[in-house]
């Protein structure tokens, strides 16, 4: 349970933001075990999620440099407005509600819905800024120019050869009883969003599990967190920033070493995403028939090297049962 005073302090830090030197220093100190530095870092991440999406890349680059002791050296991102907007009170109500239940084994679907609900409190000005920020990332404008994405079909995937990317994707969906596009794009009215958010959100719903396969992320709890950082590094995904703000905020207020594990995971995946060529514009239907290794080679994609066993969280839960 986070005390009222701690909440107010964290909210104030989040609204104010932090300088890049402070973020880098906080990452160094947090890795060395400084509990106060954890909260500074988590507040900096929340600042990018709820107030200043234009600061996502510099903030996470500074944190990764402090954590790993070397610059990220990611692809260049076009300049964006360095604007911090007021954070609505409703954001904090939902944020702290989700934080308070973080250790209660909330399902992935509920976390997704409740994180999206936090975003529902943000202003139209924030959405316009987020759209501008996403368009500044490499490959986003070119990918969005392809038009609102057509749906994938299970029929087409089912015809793909065994061992191909399409065949692997098909088995992942069928064997795990996943939805092909995760959520219903029409119910979410994604086509009505301002560009390029309309394209980005629809594309990520249908491509999320493909990115798991091609970028080398398992469909486990730890790797769902990691791939959020990878997605955010690729195109400044504001939902991923909100999800990671919840994850880092929750772990920063816990006494266990969870924060260290999550930061190692999140920041390594962030670096991976910043160094990986843009994946948004890949026309997946053109490469369904190829083995995943050939798809990676064609587009210069190196698979993620996880710092921990992908199923570590599941192993720990099984051991505690």
pLDDT digits (tens, 9 = 90+) for 257-298: 899 999 999 999 999 999 999 999 999 999 999 999 999 999
What pLDDT was estimated at residue 116? Answer: 82
What pLDDT was estimated at residue 132? Answer: 94
Among 4-13, 23-32, 100-109, 214-223, where is mean pLDDT lowest?
Answer: 100-109
What pLDDT was estimated at residue 105? Answer: 61
DSSP per position, 189-256:
TGGGSPTTHHHHHHHHHHHHHHHHHHHT--SSHHHHHHHHHHHHHHH--HHHHHHHHHHHHHHHTSSS
DSSP single-letter state for residue 85: P
Residue 31: φ, ψ to 5°: -65, -30
DSSP single-letter state for residue 291: B
Please state, in angstroms and rounded to a whole number, the distance separating the CA atoms of residues 142 and 132. Answer: 14
Among 78-92, 144-158, 238-252, where is mean pLDDT lowest?
Answer: 144-158
- Looking at the predicted structure, is the pLDDT value of residue 144 above 80? yes
- Looking at the predicted structure, is the pLDDT value of residue 1 above 90? no
Grade residue 66 by pLDDT with cuts at 50, 70 and 90: very high
Residue 195: φ, ψ to 5°: -65, 150
Among 147-156, 189-198, 239-248, where is mean pLDDT lowest?
Answer: 189-198
Ranges 37-51, 234-248, 253-267, most confident = 37-51
Among 42-46, 61-65, 181-185, where is mean pLDDT lowest?
Answer: 181-185
Q: How far apart are the first and last CA of the chain?
A: 23
- Looking at the predicted structure, is the pLDDT value of residue 194 above 80? no
CA 17 to chain centroid, in Å, comes to: 20
The β-bridge partners of 164 are 291
Among 6-15, 64-73, 101-110, 242-251, where is mean pLDDT lowest?
Answer: 101-110
What pLDDT was estimated at residue 254? Answer: 85
What pLDDT was estimated at residue 69? Answer: 98
DSSP single-letter state for residue 172: H
CB 274 within 8 A of CB 137: no
> Quick check: helix, strand or coil at residue 146?
coil
Grade residue 74 by pLDDT with cuts at 50, 70 and 90: very high
What pLDDT was estimated at residue 200? Answer: 85
Q: What is the pLDDT averaged over residues 306-315? A: 95
- CA nearest neighbour of 310 among 209, 207, 226: 226
What pLDDT was estimated at residue 150? Answer: 83
Please state, in angstroms and rounded to a whole number, the distance separating the CA atoms of residues 132 and 196. Answer: 8
- Looking at the predicted structure, is the pLDDT value of residue 189 above 60? no
> Quick check: helix, strand or coil at residue 164?
strand
- Looking at the predicted structure, is the pLDDT value of residue 128 above 80? yes
Q: What share of the chain is helix, strand, coil (3-state, %, to 5)?
A: 65, 0, 35
CB 170 within 8 A of CB 158: yes
> Quick check: helix, strand or coil at residue 121?
coil
Burial 193-228 (b: 16+ CB within 10 A, else e): beebbbbbbbbbbbbbbbbbbbbbbbbbbbbbbbbb
What pLDDT was estimated at residue 109? Answer: 67
Please state, in angstroms and rounded to a whole number, the distance separating the CA atoms of residues 315 and 4. Answer: 34
Q: Which two tokens stand for residue 105?
A: 């084994």
What pLDDT was estimated at residue 321? Answer: 76
Q: Residue 168, Cβ neighbours under 10 Å: how many?
A: 20
> Mean pLDDT of all residues in the chain?
91
What pLDDT was estimated at residue 104? Answer: 60
Question: Which stretch of DSSP H or E encloses residue 4?
Answer: helix 4-16
> Quick check: helix, strand or coil at residue 280?
coil
Grade residue 199 by pLDDT with cuts at 50, 70 and 90: confident
What pLDDT was estimated at residue 293? Answer: 97
- Looking at the predicted structure, is the pLDDT value of residue 30 above 80? yes
CA 36 to chain centroid, in Å, comes to: 24
CB 57 within 8 A of CB 71: no
């Amino acid at each position: 349970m986070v005390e009222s005073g701690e909440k107010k302090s964290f909210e104030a830090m989040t609204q104010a933001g932090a300088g890049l030197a402070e973020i880098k220093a906080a990452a160094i100190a947090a890795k060395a075990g400084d509990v106060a530095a954890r909260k500074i870092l988590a507040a900096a991440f929340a600042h990018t999620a709820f107030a200043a999406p234009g600061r996502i890349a510099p903030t996470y680059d500074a944190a990764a440099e402090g954590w790993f002791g070397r610059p990220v050296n990611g692809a260049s991102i076009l300049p964006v407005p360095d604007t911090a907007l007021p954070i609505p009170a409703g954001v904090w109500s939902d944020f702290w509600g989700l934080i308070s239940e973080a250790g209660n084994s909330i399902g992935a679907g509920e976390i997704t819905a409740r994180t999206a609900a936090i975003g529902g409190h943000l202003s139209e000005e924030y959405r316009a800024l987020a759209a501008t920020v996403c368009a500044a990332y490499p490959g986003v404008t070119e990918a969005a120019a392809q038009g609102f994405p057509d749906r994938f079909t299970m029929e087409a995937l089912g015809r793909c050869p065994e061992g191909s990317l399409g065949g692997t994707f098909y088995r992942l969906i069928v064997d795990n009883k996943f939805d092909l596009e995760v959520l219903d794009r029409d119910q979410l009215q994604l086509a009505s969003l301002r560009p390029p958010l309309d394209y980005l959100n629809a594309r990520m719903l249908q491509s999320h599990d493909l990115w798991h396969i091609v970028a080398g992320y398992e469909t486990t709890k730890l790797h769902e967190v990691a791939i959020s950082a990878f997605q955010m590094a690729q195109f400044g995904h504001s939902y991923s920033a909100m999800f990671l703000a919840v994850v880092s905020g929750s772990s920063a207020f816990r006494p266990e070493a969870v924060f260290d594990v999550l930061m190692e995971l999140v920041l390594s995946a962030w670096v991976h995403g910043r160094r990986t060529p843009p994946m948004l514009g890949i026309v997946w239907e053109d490469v369904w028939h190829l083995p995943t290794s050939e798809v990676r080679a064609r587009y210069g994609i190196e698979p993620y090297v996880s710092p921990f066993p992908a199923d570590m969280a599941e192993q720990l839960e099984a051991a505690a049962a």
